[in-house]
Chain A
Amino acid sequence: MNRPAITRRKQRGQAMLEFTFVGIPLMFVLISIFEMSRGMWMYHTMAFSVKDGVRFAVVHGINCINTTGTGGTNPNTCKKTIADIAAQIQGSAVIFDPTKTTLTFFPGDGGAASTPCTMVGAGAGGCPQFKTNAWPPFDSTGATSLDAVGKPIRIDITAPFQSALSMFWPGSRPVNFGTYTLGASSTDYVQY
């Protein structure tokens, strides 16, 4: 009749032992799932937003340059600036701190990259300061202009990702939320 009591007594401490064996890795797995999910979420959002931004840029190429009034005959006024594209990207990347999210614009055909800028604010480096920088750049040379139809363009985005994952890394101090930089990039060809 008292066998269970004996057994219980014998097993005293076992739960704690099991918890030590299973619980710590379990927490590691749990937090890892959390953090990896969060990281994936950020990466997906980032990749999506930059893809959206590139698509926005490629449909506003050389044919959008308004040249009427300067002896030219193109009345289109659809050219976009770096600030416009940054706003478009920000619209699909609301989860990021816009003051810490950096965008870099590359005319993909050997042109110099734009100054990296953050989506808003953060001093002089913010994209809104580039309200007059038409992008992709129009360099008045027609066929070789970096916004000519068929030219590749690329936008890179980076944002900081603060993760609890690193606290499990060997050598880390117990509570160390490491900051990593997540990045994504998208390339497409000017359509119009």
Chain B
Amino acid sequence: MIRRKKTSGGQAIVMVTLALIAMCGMMGLAVDLGWSFFVEKQAQAAADGAALAAVQEAVSRLGGGGSAISGFTCGSSSAGTGASQVDCEPANPPTRCGSVLATSSLHVGCSFAKTNGFDDSVARQKVTMQSDGGTNRPPTAPGVVLISYWVTARTVQTIPQLFSAVLNNTQGTVSAIATAGIVGSITPGSFYGMNHAGDCWSLPGAPGVNCGMDIKNGSKGSIGPCPGGSGTGTICAPAGVFLSSTCNSSSPTGNTCSQPWAGDGGSHGGIETSSIVVMGTGGPPNGGAITGTWTNASGANVGATYSNNAATFKDPTSPNPQPPLQASSPIPSCGVLGGNLTGTVGPYQYYSYTTLLGGKPKPDGGQISINGTTTFSSAGGCPGILSGGSAQSGSFPTVVFWGGINVVGTMNLTAGQYVMAGTSVPDTPVMTTPSSGGTIQAADTTATNTGTMFVFTDGNYPGLGGPKVQGNSGGTGQISAIPNWDQMPALYQGNINVKNSTITMEGLVNSAVGGSTLPSSMNVYSGVVWWQDRRNSMVEYNENPAFAPHCSNCTKDDGTVVGCADQTAGQCTASQTTGEIVTDNHVTATSPGVQLDPGHGSINVNGVYYQPRGAWIQIIHGTGFGTGKLQTITGSLETTSGNDKFLLQGPTNPLITYKTALIQ
């Protein structure tokens, strides 16, 4: 008896001990592992926050947007810790936050990690930052090519184990990694109608025309499905439509809403699209109405969805400024007698003259006529009087036409930026073709591989300087390379009318795409083929669509505030006066409007057509629309007559802008 009792007593202790060890092990699995997953979650949040914050800081140090953020490289001048410099720390193993200087852009990321509970100076924690830019891709996300700067944040924490310690597992390590970057993001959608209720096709003060209208399909024909679909449509907008107008049958008429709807799909074929997003908190009367026929690719009716999120209807190109001229110092000017240009010509500033003043040509602001076959090439010369400036050597030069162009013959384009700098006769086109038609075409592989960009503006585009009569007091900017520049007459915004013409062009191709020689600083305008000056608009340029323009939002492309002559309590008036718009921006009654009328020509343009809010485009359907696809960002679109299809771009060649995002 006694022996047995002794044995069983010892047995209990052994059993309990063994059970305890195993139990603690199991408890360890549940408790310690659960805790480590919880900490891991925090570590991931801290790493995500740190990487995003460091990149966001870099964006703001680089100016908030535009060419500087897409063209960033970690050079000796740009990489550093100055107030406007961005820190690149590509070293491996990565730099610990303890070694990141307080003035560095990465320091912001470190402090975010600290706010989220990960502090490099704490013994059991470690936070590291790694960053680089330019063509050096992030090792964690090598597939992301549209990237100009990246930051990888790593957070590590050692956690003491509670139950698992029984199994000699005294320490556990959790870590998280996140990479964020300034990355190229595609802009979804085929069509953006940015005109709000109250934005008209007429100058403020004049009787309102098409106020609050974003899209109207007046095409007559119904000729089968859009490419890739089986529905019907005379406007093909496969990637979706965004309408910023809140017009419906309850809206005030007149200068607020000329029609009781924001968009009209028309009755012949209608508009084929995958989605319609309209501004408002819901259907009419709380948001814009749509009418007419709207179908999807399979022919089923599509209804509107509503959003009152201002960001949805924001200008997709904001906050980027207008595309900068590629030549910062004045390029040579080429005076052309009577404005007649022909032959193989170089990347110069072209201006028209008829008389001499002081032995030098006197610019008359006349339109440049493109005669015969005119080929633009870096090897070309000047068929007139060449003077001033320094020659351009880059693969993406700037060509300026003071007074605009009239394409009578064939205009052969090479890769580059073509600036139509105003018209001397108000209410006339800044680019036109005669009724017999002209040809504008991408003539070589650079023009298709790198792309071409037309800028339609007046004489005061940033960098041009502008005529003296319109305020260029010092002869600064590009215009200073023109002899007798102070004789240049006033140049206004002009409209575009290319009836019967044949146009074949490709928009800008991101420099990360093989074959493209686009300067990386222009990547932020990837896709753009035609750019209309933001100031050429019936509303003072205002990127915030939710309100009547505030002064602080009423910005000129250089960031300065315009149109505040009659400001009350820090606000511009809800609608500017004719005088303000004309004086500020040289806009005329018809200049924000564009007429695309292929007639018996052919328009094959691929890329993004950008017009600001307050501008409009009118499509007169001939039979000449080919396969070119335009992603159209504009104030308002109207198609009239004709029965061809107007193709808008799907997601293959959209606007790419640079933004901050997590990429790994």
- A interface residue numbers (CB < 8 A to B): 30, 33-34, 36-38, 40-41, 44-45, 47-48, 51, 55, 58-59, 62-65, 67-68, 70-79, 140-145, 148-149, 191-192
Contact = CB atoms under 8 A, between A and B. Distances in A.
A108 B26 CA distance: 36
A55 B45 CA distance: 11
Interface string B6-38: 000000000000010011001101110110010
B275 A68 contact: no
B632 to A, nearest CB: 13
Given A45-B33, A63-B183, A192-B663, A143 B527 contact: no
Nearest to B652: A72
Contacts of B184: 63, 74, 76
A76 B145 contact: yes
Interface string B249-278: 000000000000000000000000011010
A142 B143 CA distance: 21
Interface stretch (B195-203, B367-375, B437-445, B653-661): B653-661
B23 A33 contact: yes
B526 interface: yes
B510 A75 contact: yes
B274 A143 contact: yes
B650 A140 contact: yes
Contacts of B606: 71
Interface string B605-627: 01000000000000000000000
A41 B663 CA distance: 30
Given A33-B27, A142-B274, A191 B656 contact: no
B189 interface: yes
A141 B663 CA distance: 22
B37 A142 contact: no
A59 B663 contact: yes
Contacts of B527: 73
B267 to A, nearest CB: 24
Contacts of B474: none
Interface in B453-470: none
B162 to A, nearest CB: 13
Nearest to A191: B662
Interface in B156-197: 183-186, 188-190
A73 B653 contact: yes
A63 B526 CA distance: 14
The 6 closest A-B pairs by CB, nearest first: A142-B239, A78-B143, A72-B652, A143-B240, A143-B188, A141-B274
A78 B663 contact: yes
Given A36-B30, A47-B37, A68-B514, A148 B188 contact: yes
Contacts of B661: 59, 63, 149, 191-192
A101 B188 CA distance: 36
Interface string B399-414: 0000000000000000
Contacts of B23: 30, 33-34
B186 A63 contact: yes
17 contacts: A30-B23, A33-B26, A38-B26, A65-B651, A67-B652, A73-B653, A73-B656, A74-B184, A75-B145, A76-B144, A76-B145, A76-B146, A78-B141, A140-B651, A141-B238, A144-B240, A149-B188
A117 B653 CA distance: 34
A48 B183 contact: no
B308 to A, nearest CB: 15
B513 A73 contact: yes
Of the listed residues B23, B41, B606, B663, the one surrounded by the most CB atoms of chain A closer than 10 A to its CB is B663
B73 interface: no
A72 B507 CA distance: 11
A77 B512 CA distance: 12
Interface in B19-77: 19, 22-23, 26-27, 29-31, 33-34, 37, 40-41, 44
Given A38-B29, A192-B661, A77 B145 contact: yes
B652 A34 contact: no
B238 A140 contact: yes
Contacts of B656: 73-74
Contacts of A149: 185, 188, 661
A80 to B, nearest CB: 9
B185 A71 contact: no
B473 interface: no
Contacts of A51: 41
Contacts of B653: 67, 71-73
A35 B512 CA distance: 55
B44 A55 contact: yes
Given A78-B143, A141-B240, A142-B239, A63 B275 contact: no
Interface string B194-236: 0000000000000000000000000000000000100000000
B498 interface: no
B153 interface: no
B239 A141 contact: yes
A59 B662 contact: yes
Interface string B498-516: 0000000000011011100
Contacts of A45: 33, 37
Of the listed residues A47, A59, A64, the one surrounded by the most CB atoms of chain B closer than 10 A to its CB is A59
B583 interface: no
A142 B30 contact: no
B30 A143 contact: no
Contact of B144 (A38, A64, A67): A64
Contacts of A143: 188-189, 239-240, 242, 274-275, 277
A143 B242 CA distance: 9
Contacts of B328: none
Nearest to B526: A73
B33 A74 contact: no
A142 B189 contact: yes
A37 B30 contact: yes
Contacts of A37: 26-27, 29-31
A48 B185 contact: no
A142 B654 CA distance: 9
Contacts of B318: none
Nearest to B186: A63
Interface in B268-320: 274-275, 277
Given A58-B662, A73-B527, 13 more contacts: A34-B23, A41-B29, A41-B34, A48-B40, A51-B41, A55-B44, A63-B146, A67-B652, A74-B656, A78-B143, A140-B238, A141-B274, A142-B650
B664 interface: yes
B429 to A, nearest CB: 29
Nearest to A34: B26
A34 B98 CA distance: 43
Nearest to B26: A37
B316 to A, nearest CB: 11
Nearest to A148: B188
Contacts of B185: 63, 149, 192
Contacts of A62: 186, 188, 651
Contact of B652 (A40, A58, A71, A148): A71
Contacts of B26: 33-34, 37-38, 41
A142 B29 contact: no
Contacts of A38: 26, 29-30
Nearest to A141: B274
A44 B34 contact: yes
A51 B44 CA distance: 11
Contacts of B240: 141-144
A44 B31 CA distance: 10
